[in-house]
Amino acid sequence: MSDPTSVAAVFTRHLAAYLGQHTAPMALKTFAKQALGVAPDQLKRPDTAKLLEAMRPMLSTLVGKQRAEEVAALIQRELA
């Protein structure tokens, strides 16, 4: 995850703001495996929408629906 513009790095950075440095990578690993069957370092930009869709319930549970949508939009924009 040395490239800060990689899909995994962008997701981890946004998630870490809420979940912290320990749980953010764990969350990414869990949902990447669950939604796409891949490891975080294998994520590609076209995977973004599907991964965000899988993470939406997790974000809604912890930060509320509106904020979850805003976080998803921020990640989507950065990886567009």
Partner 1 sequence: MTSKMVTVLAVVAVVVLTVADAFVVYRLEDPTRFVAHATLRAVALGLAAVAAALTASRFGGFSEYVGRGWTLLSIFYALLTISYVLNRAGIKIPALADSMTIAGNLAAIGAFWLFGQALRRAGLQFYGPAGVKVAVFVAAVAVAALVVTPTILDIVRSNAGGFSRTADFISAFADMLTFILIAPLLLTLWSLRGGQLSWVYGLLALSTIGWMINTVADDLLPRIAVRDAQMTGLFLACMAVAAAAYSQLAVSRVEAASV
* Residues of the shown chain interacting with partner 1 in the complex, contacts defined by CB under 8 A: 16-24, 26-27, 30-31, 34, 57-67, 74
Our CB check for partner 1 shows the closer of 7 and 27 to be 27
C-alpha–C-alpha distance, residues 11 and 78, integer Å: 10
- Taking the complex as a whole, how short is the minimal distance between the CB of residue 66 and partner 1, in angstroms? 7
In the complex with partner 1, which residue's Cβ is closer, 22 or 46? 22
- CA 31-47-51 angle, to 5 degrees, is 30
d(CA 66, CA 43): 26
Smallest distance, partner 1 to C-beta of residue 51, A: 13
Task: Give all strands (DSSP E) within 1-80, no chain letters.
Answer: none
